[in-house]
Each structure stands twice: as C-alpha cells, then as structure tokens.
Amino acid sequence: MGIIDKASFYLPAGAAYKESEIWAQKPLTDDAKCTFLRDSVATRTTDCDEVKSVEANVPAYRYRDGLPFLQLEQQSTNLEKNSHGFINGGTNSTNPNWFDNQVTITNNTVVSPEGKINGHTLTLTNVSWDTYTRYNGLTNGTKYTWSCYVKLGTATNFCVVPNNTQSWDSFNSEEGAIKRFTSADGLSTTEWTRVSISVTADSNNSINLHLGSHSNSSISQQDPGTVHIWGIQLEEGDIPTSLIKTTGSAATRDETKIRNANTNLWNNAAGVLYADIYFYGGGESQLLGLDSGSVVTRIYVNDSGAIQGHYFESSTYKGNMSHTVDIGRHKIAYKYASGSSKLYIDGVQVGSSSETYTPQTFTQLRINELWGAYEYGNVDLYEAAVFDQTLNDEELKSLTTL
C-alpha cells in the first residue's frame, strides 16, 4: 500500500470535474465532491502548448512536461484594452492605440498560440524603430508586469523598452533600461514563447511601453526584420498570470477557490496536509488549509515567498515554521500535532516545533482561499491530500521526495 492510500482526502492530478465541481479520488463516497469557484472565463495551456479558453467555474489545467497542473490563480485584471490586436493610432499612443514610428504593423498574418490566424507581424526597418503605447490610470509606485507571446520572423531578437512618462530617457524597468529577448530566452522562428517584463508606474500614474528600440534612448539593440506577436497583457504584480482576453476594454479574471465542508475528512487535533505544486515565486498563496472562519491550520506561501506551515489558535501561530524555495516544482507536507509539528519539503525536514496547542474545530477544507477574506494564487497544483492521522518521518520523507 502506498503512503497516499492512507489519505482521508486525495485530489489527484487531472481530477474529474464538471461546472462548479471537482472530484477527489478519496474518499470513495459523495464526500469527495468539492465546490469549484472561478466566476469568470480563463485560459489554459494544453500539452501541445496551445492557449485555450475555459468557461467560468470550470477548472483550468496547465501542462508542464506533459503533466496536468491545476491553475490556482489570484484575481487579476488585464489593463491592455486589446490583447489580441494592434490598433494603429497614428500619433495617438493612449492605449489601446499604438503609435507607429517607422514600424509596419500587419494584423492577422500568422497562426497564433490559440490556433487561429490572428497573430500579428511587426516589421522593424530603421535605427529609430519602435511602436509604443501609454497605459494611464495606474498607481504611482506600484509594480506591473507586461507580457506577450512572441515568435521570431526574420529578426533575431525582440526588445521591450519601458520608460518614465516624466522623461523619455528615464527608464523604470525592474530589469534595466531595455529587455532584449533572444534565443537564450526561448525565442525561435518555429515556436511561440511568452516573455514578460516588470515595470513600476511613475508619478503620472502611467507607463510607456515600447516594442523595438526607443528612438530617443540612443539604444539600438533591436535587430531589423520581422517579429510576430500575440496576447498582450499588463497586470498588477511581479509575475505574469494566464492570459486574460480583452477587446476594447480591460477585463478581470476571478480567483480560483476549492472547498469541501465534509468534516469527517480530517482530524482536528493532528494530521498531515500535503501539496505537490509548481511555485512561481512572490505573492501569498493559500495552498491547502482547514479552517473554521477564525482558526486555521494550513500550508501556504507567505508574502516573502517562503513555504510556511502553522496551526493558528486564538490569534496566535502555533507550530509555525517556514522555508524559502526556488521557483519550480515542490512537494510539501505539514504535520500538525501538538508538541511535535514538522514541515517537509522535497524529501527533507526543513522545520519542526515542540509548541503545544489546544485542538480547534475545523468546518471547511479550502484550497487557494482562507475563509473568504483574502485572495491568493499564482501556483499550479498537481495533487493535494489530507491525512486524518500523523505520518512518521520516513513516510513524510517518501511522500515529499520528487
């Protein structure tokens, strides 16, 4: 018998679902039915790297190395008003218009990542080439991430240049004055690659974003030729989330929430929470937790980007421990037991606590949500489990070994 067979609740990779429901593999009763909530459409990446739309309240799976990971995303708004097409605004550069400065923009020329002929071609022909747009109505000092899908034509690179609207030569990118994407970043003439850059809004509450070299910057890192582009997104935060389609105005994708209120699935006093995730880095993420609306035991990504586990009792963290991990896939298990709590990540014990607590009464199992008060996200979930019993060290090590 495998260790996962001891679980009282097990949500497997690629779990069965229908609208507003997702089904655990254990228990083998109706108690396995979980509520699934995301009150808006979303997009996902298939195992063939195609971008597909997903209806509201239907799980979205993103494939990594052929494996289906459930997207657990926070609420996010795409501030690019026309994600799937360039509007040539002439001298008007206020988004969704793009100012055309010695760049030829040809719409609907190539097959895009969603399998339609709606990808666009930029033809770059001069040392001062660029096309740019200005995003207004942002928040001064707030970080935003701009992203798009790119495929090379005859050009050998693709440059993105953010600049401060106060001064054309004052750049405010988190990655320097100019981001030059090349084959080292995955760009090719045969495949689409999503690229991104993080930028901080200026005191005008705006960001100017140039594709190609900025004509006033004395930077000529963009090679001449053609570049194909599709699926533009600007959103608050420091990582790109899945594409939110827009046509003429900004659009919002709601956060993902999974719930199960069958209290016989867990042990209030002691047990194990387990999750196999892909971690993007940054931002809080409620991975898996049990709560009553005021008390909770959980594993989550804290606001410093570290994996954390604790038992929350009477406004106090008990058995609290955390460990910083790199971006990538990780297996996590938090054993909660008064006087002997432990945290395992990737087959290694990374924390322990002898702190005691008084068992609380939990009424809800939640994934990507903490009693409805917070929005979480930005991890992908491969599988999750709850054990209504504790596991020994060898079992915790085996369970979490990649």
DSSP 318-374: EEEEEEE--SEEEEEEEEEETT-EEEEETTEEEEEE----------EEEES-STTT-
Q: Are 173 and 179 in contact (CB under 8 A)?
A: yes
**What's the pLDDT score for residue 132?**
79
**What's the pLDDT score for residue 46?**
83
Q: What percent of the chain has pLDDT over 70?
A: 89
Question: Any residues with CB less than 8 A from the CB of 268 and at least 6 apart, and which?
Answer: 290, 359, 360, 361, 362
Spatial CA neighbour of 216 closest among 287, 168, 280, 170: 168
pLDDT in tens, 114-142: 999 999 998 887 666 678 788 889 999 89
pLDDT at 175 over 60: no
**What's the pLDDT score for residue 265?**
94
What the block records as the tokens of 83 is: 């994600």
Q: What is the mean pLDDT of residues 265-272?
A: 94
**What's the pLDDT score for residue 297?**
85
**What's the pLDDT score for residue 90?**
66
**What's the pLDDT score for residue 218?**
44
Among positive and negative, which fits the CA dihedral 149, 247, 252, 140? positive
Encode burial over 206-223: b for 16+ CB neighbours within 10 A, e otherwise. bbbbbbbbbbebebeebb
pLDDT in tens, 14-62: 999 999 999 999 998 999 999 999 999 999 988 777 889 999 999 999 8
Residue 309 vs residue 302, higher pLDDT: 309
pLDDT at 374 over 60: no
pLDDT in tens, 183-204: 999 999 999 999 999 888 888 8
Residue 163: which pLDDT band, with cuts at 50, 70 and 90?
confident
Can you tell me the distance from the alpha carbon of 301 to that of 351, in angstroms, rounded to the nearest whole number?
Answer: 15
Query: Does the pTM exceed 0.85?
Result: yes
Q: Are 307 and 299 in contact (CB under 8 A)?
A: yes
* Top-confidence range, 172-176, 270-274, 326-330: 270-274
The CA–CA distances, whole Å, from 264 to 23, 72, 261, 335 equal 16, 25, 9, 18
* Top-confidence range, 115-124, 155-164, 311-320: 115-124
Q: Are 10 and 31 in contact (CB under 8 A)?
A: no
Cα 144–Cα 149–Cα 153 angle in degrees, nearest 5: 135
**What's the pLDDT score for residue 224?**
84
What the block records as the tokens of 74 is: 């926070």
Residue 113: which pLDDT band, with cuts at 50, 70 and 90?
very high
Domains observed in the chain: 3-73+259-400 (2.60.120.200), 77-252 (2.60.120.260)
**What's the pLDDT score for residue 183?**
94
Q: Look-up: residue for tokens 């089904």?
A: 23
Q: What is the mean pLDDT of the chain?
A: 86
DSSP 235-288: EESSS--S----SSS-EEEPPPEEEE--GGGS-SSEEEEEEEEEE-SSS-EEEE
